[in-house]
């Protein structure tokens, strides 16, 4: 069964407690939290005070996706804010291996996100050190974008790399996930599906989560 991680970016920020409680009651496995700095990506989402409030209500693991430059400056802070998985972008980290070690030393699971243009092979030599690879299936920065179909091949390549090495890395897909692509993604090897607009633009978000979970 896939791990389902609804993206809080698509929630109603004026009713965050309501939406988080809906997620608590739903079949969602994790809460996906998008942090954007307006520099690494052309958008700003929300920051630490919002995450602190979210953490007080969330009863599921927080999967924090940092779309920020120099993420190494904030690792400890995100640990304090309750991140279970902390994902940094490969494109934002000059010393990615060091940053991953630091995330793990702080007691979190270490994730690496790849933009659509970044080949999965860039992670070949450190895959055994990565708990989760987040393949971006849209250009990061905004919810509600169209899924990039090249992602299927990236999932297959990453899955083959994982098998070669014998790593246990989870493969997560982020961006444009919906009922048209979710099953194909799972068949290609995806373990975790992030879904923002597909879940929250529905009149019955919990039902959408249940449908993804049942794939
Ligand atoms: C995009 C974010 C995604 C986004 C997904 O930069 O990383 O997590 O919230 O939203 P949807 O599912 O609407 O594409
Ligand atoms: Zn994300």
CA distances from 76 to 45, 98, 133 (A): 20, 14, 21
The total number of structural domains that make up the chain: 1
Which residue among 5, 7, 28 is best mutated to probe the pocket of ligand 1, counting the most ligand atoms within 8 A of its Cβ?
Answer: 7
Does 37 participate in catalysis according to the annotation? no
Kindly report the pTM of this predicted structure. Answer: 0.98
Does 34 participate in catalysis according to the annotation? yes
CATH number for the domain that contains residue 166: 3.20.20.70
Range of the domain at 82: 3-213
Atom of ligand 1 nearest to the CA of 32: 8
- Ligand 1: distance of its center to the CA of 173 in Å? 10
- Ligand 1: distance of its center to the CA of 167 in Å? 26
- Residues contacting 80, CB < 8 A, separation 6+: none
String of DSSP letters for 65-125: EEESSSGGGGHHHHHHTTEEEEEEEGGG-TTHHHHHHHHHHTT-EEEEEE-TTS-GGGGTT
Nearest ligand to the C-alpha atom of residue 132: 2
Atom of ligand 1 nearest to the CA of 178: 12
Find the residues whose C-beta lies inside 6 A of ligand 1. Answer: 7, 9-10, 32, 34, 65, 138, 140-145, 174-177, 194-198
- Ligand 2: distance of its center to the CA of 200 in Å? 15
- Ligand 2: distance of its center to the CA of 37 in Å? 13
pLDDT tens per residue, the chain (215 residues)?
999 999 999 999 999 999 999 999 999 999 999 999 999 999 999 999 999 999 999 999 999 999 999 999 999 999 999 999 999 999 999 999 999 999 999 999 999 999 999 999 999 999 999 999 999 999 999 999 999 999 999 999 999 999 999 999 999 999 999 999 999 999 999 999 999 999 999 999 999 999 999 99
């Amino acid at each position: 069964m896939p791990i389902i991680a609804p993206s809080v970016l698509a929630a109603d920020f004026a009713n965050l407690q309501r939406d988080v409680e809906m997620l608590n009651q739903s079949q969602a496995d994790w809460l996906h939290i998008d942090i954007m700095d307006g520099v690494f990506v052309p958008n700003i989402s929300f920051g630490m005070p919002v995450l602190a409030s979210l953490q007080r209500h969330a009863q599921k693991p927080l999967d924090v996706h940092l779309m920020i430059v120099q993420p190494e400056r904030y690792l400890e802070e995100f640990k304090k804010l309750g991140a279970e998985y902390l994902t940094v972008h490969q494109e934002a980290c000059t010393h990615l291996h060091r940053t991953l070690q630091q995330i793990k030393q702080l007691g979190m699971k270490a994730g690496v996100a790849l933009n659509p243009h970044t080949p999965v092979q860039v992670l070949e030599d450190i895959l055994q050190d990565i708990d989760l690879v987040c393949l971006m299936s849209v250009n990061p920065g905004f919810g509600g974008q169209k899924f990039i179909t090249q992602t299927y091949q990236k999932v297959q390549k990453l899955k083959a790399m994982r098998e070669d090495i014998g790593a246990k890395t989870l493969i997560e897909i982020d961006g444009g996930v919906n009922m048209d692509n979710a099953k194909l993604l799972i068949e290609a090897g995806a373990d975790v599906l992030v879904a923002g607009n597909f879940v929250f633009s529905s009149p019955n978000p919990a039902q959408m989560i249940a449908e993804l979970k049942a794939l």
